[in-house]
Chain A
Amino acid sequence: KAGVTQTPRYLIKTRGQQVTLSCSPISGHRSVSWYQQTPGQGLQFLFEYFSETQRNKGNFPGRFSGRQFSNSRSEMNVSTLELGDSALYLCASSLGTGLAVGDTQYFGPGTRLTVL
């Protein structure tokens, strides 16, 4: 079974621009979560989508948004980029049934975003 794929793997943008990152989950998985990883803040939860609906959201500004399509693929968008948005953005997929019943998040390779 193919793993989680993320495109593109690397991106360079300038301040003020916007960017869209894509994530394709493992076949059969209906939940996609996004995390931001930076040296200073570590791994932080951005949001989670399940069945095309945002189910959970982390503590990030409204410039960070996402969506999920009917095939469970997900995109996240960052508008008006700031230097501090430079990070590795990781996508994780899972069945979406909840950790209490043994669900597990599987991560993609990430998209490295550099903002100049």
Chain B
Amino acid sequence: AQSVTQPDIHITVSEGASLELRCNYSYGATPYLFWYVQSPGQGLQLLLKYFSGDTLVQGIKGFEAEFKRSQSSFNLRKPSVHWSDAAEYFCAVGAWVSGGYNKLIFGAGTRLAVHP
């Protein structure tokens, strides 16, 4: 069965420090991978997505992620964190279902705190 694991429930970094959020997926076919961010009381905002091609994808707000098939990983990175990046981050895989479309399977999320 398809699944997504985000090993880190909470991460705290200092403002200006680099960030890496881990994501591992379990999926038999070519995965379609996403990172979303959720601020308190808000919905999910798409940061970036991977479908095919270049394994390093760029997203909004200075985020990037690298797809590594051999490690079944899609880790999110940012070279310098800003206080406004404090939020919860969700990794998701698009799982094919009969009927033609796909549904998203989400990881449990990583809550990021940023110290000034």
Contacts and interface: CB of A to CB of B under 8 A. Distances in A.
B67 interface: no
A102 B101 CA distance: 11
Interface in A1-30: 4, 6
Nearest to B102: A99
Contact of B109 (A6, A42, A92, A112): A42
A62 B36 CA distance: 29
Contacts of A108: 43
Interface residues of A, number: 29
B32 A99 contact: yes
A26 B73 CA distance: 31
Interface string B56-100: 000000000000000000000000000000000010101011011
Nearest to B32: A99
Contact of B101 (A35, A98, A107, A109): A98
A33 B97 CA distance: 13
Given A48-B103, A55-B101, A56-B97, A99 B43 contact: no
B109 to A, nearest CB: 7
Contacts of B114: none
B102 A107 contact: no
Contacts of A110: 42-43
A45 B36 contact: no
Contacts of B92: 43
Contacts of A35: 104
B108 A42 contact: yes
B99 A56 contact: yes
B32 A100 contact: yes
A90 B49 contact: no
B31 to A, nearest CB: 10
Nearest to A109: B43
Contacts of B94: 99
A50 B101 contact: yes
Contacts of B107: 42
